[in-house]
Amino acid sequence: MSDLNKRDVEALLGGRTPEGLEPLAALVERLRREASLSVDPATAKQHVAVAAAASREAPVPATVPGSTVRPLWRRRTVFAGLLSTIFGKVFAGAVALAAATAGAGTAGVLPDPVQEFFDGSHEIERLVEQVRLQEQDQLHLQDQTQLQDQTRDRDQLGEQTGTTNTTQQQQQQQQGQDDAPNTTQQQQQQQQGQDNGTANQGSTTTAAGYGYGYGYGPGEPGNTTSTTMQHQYGPGEPGGNTTTTQASYGPGEPGSGKP
């Protein structure tokens, strides 16, 4: 007895009768016919009623032809399937926590440590600005101390060389103030140092007198402090010394570094 080939198998299962396999084909046909059992009419009626009721209760999907949007119940099923996995639960929890934290942080109702962490970038900027202002104050104090020392030294020097006429001093001071080109030049030089803004911190520019220029940063509004100090030693008469000191601390113009 030879084995069945592929063609014989397909013929038998397709309801045809290959040559020499008539008994087997008859058996397959009997199986096909007798395996299809009739159902009790009462049972069949009950099954049909239950199936019809189940189909009416089932959610109706979208029937719009060409609609690419899944019906709501289908989307719910997909979302429920995603949530049924552990990764889905973790992901959904993380998203919900991040959203809740961001909202509470924006509203400022988080606990203090968390809120500070949430506002960390602003706090760091504020601390940096505070340190910068402290450094500026220290530099101002140092300048003032140096000016006081220099003034005291000059006064002591004047006392040693001779008596200074008050009127002459005033005249000399007036001359020094009227010496506009000299003063303008110093201010321009100081201004150049301030506008440079690179290595001008603590730099000293001296033309006819002493000029101290301090420029900080490229000049945010209110962030620029400039100090202008002029020490002029007028020609005066012998024994007369004139000292003029100007110090200005101003917010400056935005971005220009001008005092």
Partner 1 sequence: MDQAGFPALLEAARAGAEWAWSRLYADLAGPVLGYLRTRGAAEPEDLLGEVFVQVARNAGTFEGDYPAFRSWVFTVAHHRLVDERRYRARRPVEPGAIPDAALGMGDTEVEALAHLATGEVVALLGTLTPEQRDVLLLRIVGDMSVEDVARIVGRRPGAVKALQRRGLESLRRSLTSVTRAGTPTVTRAR
Residues of the shown chain interacting with partner 1 in the complex, contacts defined by CB under 8 A? 1, 3-4, 6, 9, 12-13, 21, 23-24, 27-28, 30-32, 34-40, 43-44, 46-61, 74
Q: Where are the alpha helices (DSSP H) in 112-244?
A: 112-118, 120-161, 166-178, 180-196
Nearest to 209 by CA among 246, 170, 165, 249: 246
Cβ 85 to partner 1, closest distance in Å? Answer: 21
Cβ 94 to partner 1, closest distance in Å? Answer: 32
> Are the beta carbons of 242 and 229 closer than 8 angstroms?
no
CB closer to partner 1, 25 vs 139: 25
CB closer to partner 1, 63 vs 167: 63
CB closer to partner 1, 6 vs 160: 6
> What letters, b where the CB count within 10 A reaches 16 and e where it falls short, cover 88-108?
eeeeeeeeeeeeeeeeeeeee
Cβ 51 to partner 1, closest distance in Å? Answer: 4
Cβ 2 to partner 1, closest distance in Å? Answer: 10
Cβ 83 to partner 1, closest distance in Å? Answer: 20
Query: Using CA atoms, how far apart are residues 183 and 188, in angstroms rounded to an integer?
Result: 8
> Are the beta carbons of 203 and 220 closer than 8 angstroms?
no
Cβ 82 to partner 1, closest distance in Å? Answer: 18
CB closer to partner 1, 13 vs 131: 13
CB closer to partner 1, 22 vs 137: 22
Amino acid at 181: P
Q: How many CB atoms lie within 10 A of CB 182?
A: 16
CB closer to partner 1, 30 vs 132: 30
> Which tokens go with 250?
């101003």
Nearest to 231 by CA among 252, 246, 214, 220: 246
